[in-house]
């Protein structure tokens, strides 16, 4: 993720409530339509979370009711 993507992502994460569990599309809401390559972006987002470039969020795995990575606000 580039610096501006990190800033937007962190802002969206910060607006969540502790304990919220959401997939990336739910975190981004209306902004998700601006993502040109969702699969590529999803991999970058997950990597940023796992490498602690984004704070206050953790990857909890693939959602059982659909094919998306789920994240939890901590």
Do 23 and 68 contact (CB within 8 A), yes or no?
A: yes
Indicate the number of domains in the chain. 1
Taking residues 4-12, report their average pLDDT. 97
Compute the distance between CA of residue 74 and CA of residue 56 in angstroms, rounded to an integer.
Answer: 5
pTM (2 decimals)?
0.92
Compute the distance between CA of residue 57 and CA of residue 3 in angstroms, rounded to an integer.
Answer: 18
- How far CA 15 is from CA of 9, 11, 21, 27, 66, in Å, comes to 10, 6, 13, 9, 24
| 65: pLDDT strictly greater than 90 | no
**Helix, strand, or coil (residue 68):** coil
Taking residues 10-25, report their average pLDDT. 97
Taking residues 1-27, report their average pLDDT. 96
């Amino acid at each position: 993720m580039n610096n501006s993507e990190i800033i937007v992502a962190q802002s969206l994460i910060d607006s969540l409530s502790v304990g919220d569990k959401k997939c990336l599309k739910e975190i981004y809401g209306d902004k998700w339509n601006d993502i040109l390559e969702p699969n590529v972006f999803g991999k970058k987002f997950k990597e940023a979370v796992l490498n602690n470039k984004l704070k206050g969020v953790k990857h909890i795995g693939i959602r059982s009711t659909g094919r998306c990575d789920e994240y939890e606000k901590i």
